[in-house]
A and B are shown apart, each in its own frame.
Chain A
Amino acid sequence: MRFISIPVLSLGRRPMRTVLTVIGIAVAVGSFIALVGMSRALEKAWVNSLDDRGTHLLVTRKGVVELLTASIKEDIGEQLQDIRGVRAVAGELVDLVTLKSGQAVLITGWSPESYLWQTLNIVRGNLPDFNSSEEVMLGQACSESLGKEVGDTVLVRDKEFIVSGVFRESGVMTNGTIVFPLNVMQDMIEKPETVTVFNLLIDHPDQPLKVEALRNDLGEAFEDLLFTETDQIAESNHMMQLFRAMAWGTSTIALVIALVVIVNTLLMTVSEQKRQIGILSAVGWSSERILAVVITEGFLLALFGSIAGSVLGIYGLHYLASMPQMQGFLQPEITLRMVLEVCGATCVLGILGGLYPALRAIRINTVDALRYE
């Protein structure tokens, strides 16, 4: 017999309670993985869509909480273009609209000469006819969820547009959008000569020192604008930060509940198995060894809970991502490292949760314990 048999048998004596405790821990671990994975997926979706376009620096207005509500004068683009080190500037108007069907769709407007059009992978059809002001392009995910193909019409803000083409991007965010010629969209949402952000291409994007220097120059020249590198965008966005904080907050609470569940179960185990503890003490087991039995029980509960919870969380996130409301907006983003970290943290919680019941166990008077029925 190995040492591990003692805590295993002890947990096995109340199988139902042990299973329920493991389920409790699994739900906590699962919600942690699903929520934090979700927040990471959101960030990744953003970064990917910017990566597809090759954008190096994103220009936004300072002090704006929700990017969609921000506005910058379109002609600032020409001034940006004049700064040394800036290769190309593309203004972009972004908005979220609700279609008749109730679906929310991200719409975006690009000026006809914008380099962004060149970044699109067109799978069917063509770029819109910039002279007609009636044509738009759909991302593939959007085309699928709306059921619209090249030649069909879509109704946006009570105006009909013809789908001139469908494109596919790896960034799930862009994939779900409708792209308008900039002036058409400005008229439609009544924001003339305005854009939401500028995408900048720069001369030396892979030389951090030059990028930093350029950002400084830009920052001095345009005091009310913010210049963010693509991979830091998600981190610096307030909504994203809020979502991340909520994800972490909720899942931390779940883990605290898991800790309470472990302590509760082990306190019951210890008081039920008083006699066994008395026997171990009578045959000469040291306090440390008895302590180790109870702590191992906590560890085992946490271990099984984390394994079950990881499976639960990964399936849960895939389920969330596949919900129709998501329109393929999110790609589940779970790394092995994250799963291992959560499982590791939970096992540490298991050990900590075992500590107090274990200390109670070794304080039991042996003679009393042997009398216990």
Chain B
Amino acid sequence: MKNVIAELKHVSREYDDGRIVALQDITMQIGRGEWLSITGPSGSGKSTLLHLLGGLDRPTKGSIVFDGRDKISARQWARLRARRIGFVFQSFNLIPSLTALENVEVPLFGVMRRSAKRRQKAMDLLERVGLADRSRHRPGTLSGGERQRIAIARALVNSPDFILADEPTGNLDTRTSREIMDLLESIHTSERTTLVVVTHEIEIASRATRTIRCVDGMIAGDI
């Protein structure tokens, strides 16, 4: 593969001094602008893999290279997440006491100094996901699909080139799932963003350009 954005070299993630092996000796590359889905049974290590790719978790063995950079420190990972990596979770992970707009603003601290600019930028993103009219609502008053769109707006607010989504439609009905996937895909197409989505749903996995199947912490298939 020529243009690689992320690479895992013999990566393992173990718990309890190796008694539990979540991932075992994974070596793989993700190309820039790729649309990759990760499938596999529950407990097979999909989420662990995604967390490692965004530096939320660190491997116990092996190394991860992001955009040519090796040996990335916790501080550097935080900086990468602030500027280049966007996360979307199954359970949305919005801050309940903040409004929709404020939730989208959160990643802009440390990136944009002026509060008015942050606000404007967050508003642009809410418009982009079609929720400008919900900007003052708190997550508790919004539907699951709306919450996930706000979470996506938050993931996109710093214009990342690497989006990691862990079962983004896991809590949504079929129709809303399709809308959310359409949104993610449109971003992938228009911005040439690399998109990595963990999913159980064959329909979603089939939309990807490449699919990886995890079984027992190892990669059982790569098509």
Contact = CB atoms under 8 A, between A and B. Distances in A.
B75 A286 contact: yes
Contacts of A286: 75, 78-79, 82, 110
A10 B105 CA distance: 17
A366 interface: yes
B107 A1 contact: no
Interface residues of B, number: 33
A284 B78 contact: yes
A2 interface: yes
B106 A283 contact: yes
A1 B101 CA distance: 9
Interface string A254-297: 00000000000000000000011011111111110100000000
Contact of B87 (A283, A285, A287): A283
A78 B164 CA distance: 98
A282 B115 contact: no
A279 B95 contact: yes
B118 interface: yes
B56 A289 contact: no
Contact of B80 (A10, A278, A281, A284): A284
Interface in B110-153: 110, 115, 118-119
Given A12-B97, A367-B56, A1 B80 contact: no
Given A284-B107, A286-B79, A367-B51, A1 B102 contact: yes
B87 A282 contact: yes
A280 B97 contact: no
A1 B105 contact: yes
Contacts of A284: 78-83, 85, 107, 110, 158
A2 B106 CA distance: 10
A282 B166 CA distance: 13
Nearest to B56: A366
A69 interface: no
Contacts of A281: 56, 78
Interface residues of A, number: 25
Contact of A1 (B74, B78, B94, B98): B98
A275 B83 CA distance: 21
Nearest to B74: A287
A286 B109 CA distance: 10
A13 B95 CA distance: 12
B109 A285 contact: yes
Contacts of A97: none
Contacts of A367: 51, 56-57
A2 B115 contact: yes
A269 to B, nearest CB: 13
A370 B78 CA distance: 15
Nearest to A279: B93
B35 interface: no
Contacts of B162: none
A79 interface: no
Contacts of A280: 106
11 contacts: A1-B98, A1-B105, A5-B98, A12-B97, A282-B81, A282-B87, A283-B82, A285-B82, A286-B78, A286-B79, A287-B74
Given A13-B97, A283-B81, A284-B79, 16 more contacts: A1-B98, A1-B118, A2-B115, A3-B109, A9-B98, A276-B95, A279-B94, A282-B81, A283-B107, A284-B158, A285-B106, A285-B109, A286-B82, A366-B56, A366-B57, A367-B56
Interface of A: 1-3, 5, 9-10, 12-13, 275-276, 278-287, 289, 365-367, 370
